[in-house]
Amino acid sequence: MKQGILNTLGLAAIVMALSANTARAADPLPSWNDGAAKKSITDFVANVAKEGCPDFVPPAERIATFDNDGTLWAEQPIYFQFQFALDRVKALAPQHPEWKNKEPFNHLIAGDMKAFLAGGEKSVMAVMAASHTGITTDEFDKIVKDWLRTARHPKTGRRYTEMVYQPMLELLEYVRANGFKTFIVSGGGVEFMRAFAEQTYGIPPEQVVGSSGKLKFEMRDSKPVLVKLPEVQFVDDKDGKPIGIETFIGRRPIAAFGNSDGDQQMLEWTAAGSGARFALIVHHTDAKREWAYDRKSDVGKLDKAWDEAVAKGWTVVSMKDDWATIFPPTK
Amino acid sequence: MKQGILNTLGLAAIVMALSANTARAADPLPSWNDGAAKKSITDFVANVAKEGCPDFVPPAERIATFDNDGTLWAEQPIYFQFQFALDRVKALAPQHPEWKNKEPFNHLIAGDMKAFLAGGEKSVMAVMAASHTGITTDEFDKIVKDWLRTARHPKTGRRYTEMVYQPMLELLEYVRANGFKTFIVSGGGVEFMRAFAEQTYGIPPEQVVGSSGKLKFEMRDSKPVLVKLPEVQFVDDKDGKPIGIETFIGRRPIAAFGNSDGDQQMLEWTAAGSGARFALIVHHTDAKREWAYDRKSDVGKLDKAWDEAVAKGWTVVSMKDDWATIFPPTK
Q: Find the Cα–Cα–Cα–Cα dihedral A281, A283, A289, A290, rounded to 10°.
A: 90
Q: Closest Cα of chain B to A189: distance in Å?
A: 10
Residue B1 pLDDT? 43
- Predicted confidence pLDDT, tens digits, chain A (331 residues): 445 554 555 555 555 555 555 555 589 999 999 999 999 999 999 999 999 999 999 999 999 999 999 999 999 999 999 999 999 999 999 999 999 999 999 999 999 999 999 999 999 999 999 999 999 999 999 999 999 999 999 999 999 999 999 999 999 999 999 999 999 999 999 999 999 999 999 999 999 999 999 999 999 999 999 999 999 999 999 999 999 999 999 999 999 999 999 999 999 999 999 999 999 999 999 999 999 999 999 999 999 999 999 999 999 999 999 999 999 998 7
Contact A328, A322 (CB under 8 A): no
Q: Closest Cα of chain B to A100: distance in Å?
A: 34
Give me the amino acid identity at A87.
Answer: D
User: Distance between CA atoms of B228 and A262, rounded to whole angstroms?
Assistant: 22
- Residue among B15, B130, B21 at smallest CA distance from B84: B130
Strand partners, A32: A323
Interface predicted TM-score of the whole assembly (ipTM), two decimals: 0.91
User: Distance between CA atoms of A247 and B185, rounded to whole angstroms?
Assistant: 13
Q: Provide the mean pLDDT of chain B.
A: 93
Residue A301 pLDDT? 98
One-letter-per-residue 3-state SS of A223-236: EEEEEEEEEEEECC
Residues of A in contact with B204 (CB under 8 A): 60, 251
Helix (H, G, I), strand (E, B) or coil at B316: strand
- B269–A217 C-beta distance less than 8 A: yes
Nearest by CB: B224 against A137, A207, A268: A268
- Residue among A180, A169, A170 at smallest CA distance from A46: A180
By CA distance, what is A195's nearest residue in B?
B250
Q: Is B141 near chain A, with CB under 8 Å?
A: no
By CA distance, what is B224's nearest residue in A?
A269
- B265–A217 C-beta distance less than 8 A: yes
Contact A57, A175 (CB under 8 A): no
User: Distance between CA atoms of A150 and A146, rounded to whole angstroms?
Assistant: 7
Residue B183 pLDDT? 98
Q: Is A157 near chain B, with CB under 8 Å?
A: no
Is the pTM above the cut of 0.95? no
Give me the amino acid identity at A128.
Answer: M
Nearest by CB: B204 against A60, A204, A223: A60
Residue B6 pLDDT? 47
- Tell me the DSSP string of B274-290: SS--EEEEEE-B-TTTS
- Predicted confidence pLDDT, tens digits, chain B (331 residues): 445 554 555 555 555 555 555 555 589 999 999 999 999 999 999 999 999 999 999 999 999 999 999 999 999 999 999 999 999 999 999 999 999 999 999 999 999 999 999 999 999 999 999 999 999 999 999 999 999 999 999 999 999 999 999 999 999 999 999 999 999 999 999 999 999 999 999 999 999 999 999 999 999 999 999 999 999 999 999 999 999 999 999 999 999 999 999 999 999 999 999 999 999 999 999 999 999 999 999 999 999 999 999 999 999 999 999 999 999 998 7
- B217–A239 C-beta distance less than 8 A: yes
Instruction: Give φ, ψ of B111 to 5 degrees.
Output: 75, 20
Give me the amino acid identity at B255.
Answer: A
Nearest by CB: A194 against B208, B243, B250: B250
- A247–B223 C-beta distance less than 8 A: no
Q: Closest Cα of chain B to A192: distance in Å?
A: 11
Helix (H, G, I), strand (E, B) or coil at B1: coil
- B269–A215 C-beta distance less than 8 A: no
By CA distance, what is A223's nearest residue in B?
B272
Residues of B in contact with A272 (CB under 8 A): 223-224
Q: Closest Cα of chain A to B217: distance in Å?
A: 6
Q: Report chain B's terminal Cα–Cα distance, integer Å.
A: 50
Instruction: Give φ, ψ of B45 to 5 degrees.
Output: -65, -40
Nearest by CB: B208 against A194, A233, A250: A250
Contact residues, B window 186-205, toward A, CB-based 8 Å cutoff: 190-191, 194, 198, 204-205
Contact B173, B202 (CB under 8 A): yes
Each residue's pLDDT tens digit, B78-124: 999 999 999 999 999 999 999 999 999 999 999 999 999 999 999 99
- Residue among B246, B80, B81 at smallest CA distance from B163: B80
- Report the helix count and the strand count for chain A, using DSSP H and E: 13, 8
Q: How far is CA B112 from CA B93, B121, B124, in A?
A: 15, 16, 14
Residues of B in contact with A269 (CB under 8 A): 217, 224, 226
Helix (H, G, I), strand (E, B) or coil at B95: helix
By CA distance, what is A274's nearest residue in B?
B223
- B265–A204 C-beta distance less than 8 A: no
Nearest by CB: B190 against A194, A223, A247: A247
Q: Is A233 near chain B, with CB under 8 Å?
A: yes
The Cβ of residue B306 has, within 10 Å, a number of other Cβ atoms equal to 20
Contact A84, A144 (CB under 8 A): yes
Strand partners, A315: A280
User: Distance between CA atoms of B293 and A160, rounded to whole angstroms?
Assistant: 55
- A243–B217 C-beta distance less than 8 A: yes
Contact residues, A window 210-229, toward B, CB-based 8 Å cutoff: 212, 215-217, 223-224, 226
- A60–B250 C-beta distance less than 8 A: no
Question: Which of A63, A206, A252 would you mutate first to test chain B, the one with the most B CBs within 10 A?
Answer: A206
Q: How far is CA B89 from CA B77, B126, B132, B143, in A?
A: 19, 10, 10, 12
Residue A330 pLDDT? 87
- A233–B226 C-beta distance less than 8 A: no
The full length of chain A comes to 331
